[in-house]
Chains A and B, each alone.
Chain A
Amino acid sequence: QVELQESGPGLVKPSETLSLTCTVSGVSISSHYWSWLRQPPGKGLEWIGYVYYSGATNYNPSLMSRVTISIDTSKNQFSLRLTSVTAADTAVYYCARHAFKAPFDFWGQGTLVTVSS
């Protein structure tokens, strides 16, 4: 059974860097694409970017200048770094799995990250 679990600080100060990790179990991370998405409270879903097991990445142009997604196949984990955060980055952050030109079929439970001093 495929499971994804996000982890990381729930509170980040403005201008600092948000860092989250997604731990994948039940399947090898050395296949499929692995994405980060977010959802501000009461709002819709926004795709942040994905990483492939080879390390290749693709980002949402609206966030590209601040985002880095990386993968650690030895730990079956992938990670998100978002720099220079503001209150607008407050959201529930999800990790999810998908194939090439395919929908997100497995999601983590999500983790709320609040940007506040």
Chain B
Amino acid sequence: EVVMTQSPATLSVSPGERATLSCRASQSVTSNLAWYQQKPGQSPRLLIYGASTRATGVPARFSGSGSGTEFTLTISSLQSEDFAVYYCHQYNNWPPLTFGGGSKVEI
């Protein structure tokens, strides 16, 4: 099983600041890595796939980078609607498909 580890668990930032979230895989997942945003009471929303490709309708302030075992999600200038929990997900090796434990971005 590919174990995904996210850090930090919680990131406290102010609107307008930059947020950087990390995700590490226990073995290489090449570029088969996605990021999701989840707000309370909502289902996850796909933000990034292929490690760095924004999904349809995702603002340009969201960017992803990395390959192999180390990945980063950057939100360049946080807006109020960006405060949420973010999950990374590897779809390179299965079963099982696996997720990181999540990083909460709070004010």
Q: How far is the CA of A104 from the CA of B49 in the complex (A)?
A: 9
Do the beta carbons of A60 and B96 come within 8 Å of each other? yes
Residues of A within 8 A of B92 (CB): 101
Q: Which one of A15-23, A40-48, A81-89 contacts B?
A: A40-48
Residues of B within 8 A of A47 (CB): 94, 96-99
Q: How many residues of B contact A (CB 8 A)?
A: 24
**Residue-by-residue, is B5-23 near A (CB-CB < 8 Å gives 1, otherwise 0)?**
0000000000000000000
B95 within 8 A of A: yes
Looking at the assembled complex, report how far the CB atom of B103 sits from the nearest CB atom of chain A, in whole angstroms. 11
Residues of B within 8 A of A62 (CB): 96
B107 within 8 A of A: no
A30 within 8 A of B: no
Do the beta carbons of A105 and B99 come within 8 Å of each other? no
Report the number of A-B residue pairs with Cβ-Cβ less than 8 Å: 56
**Residue-by-residue, is A88-108 near B (CB-CB < 8 Å gives 1, otherwise 0)?**
000000100010011111011
Given contacts A59-B95, A102-B49, A107 and B100 within 8 Å (CB-CB): no
Residues of B within 8 A of A101 (CB): 32, 91-92
Looking at the assembled complex, report how far the CB atom of A60 sits from the nearest CB atom of chain B, in whole angstroms. 4
Residues of B within 8 A of A103 (CB): 34, 36, 46, 49, 89, 91
Which of B43, B46, B98, B101 interacts with A110 by CB under 8 Å? B43
Do the beta carbons of B91 and A98 come within 8 Å of each other? yes
Which of A61, A104, A105 interacts with B96 by CB under 8 Å? A61
Residues of B within 8 A of A45 (CB): 44, 87, 89, 99, 102
A25 within 8 A of B: no
Given contacts A58-B94, A102-B49, A108 and B100 within 8 Å (CB-CB): no
- Residues from 47 to 99 in A contacting B, C-beta threshold 8 Å: 47, 49, 58-62, 94, 98
A-B residue pairs, 10 tightest by C-beta = A103-B34, A107-B43, A60-B96, A47-B97, A45-B99, A103-B49, A44-B101, A44-B102, A110-B43, A47-B96
A residues at B contact (CB < 8 Å)? 35, 44-47, 49, 58-62, 94, 98, 101-105, 107-110
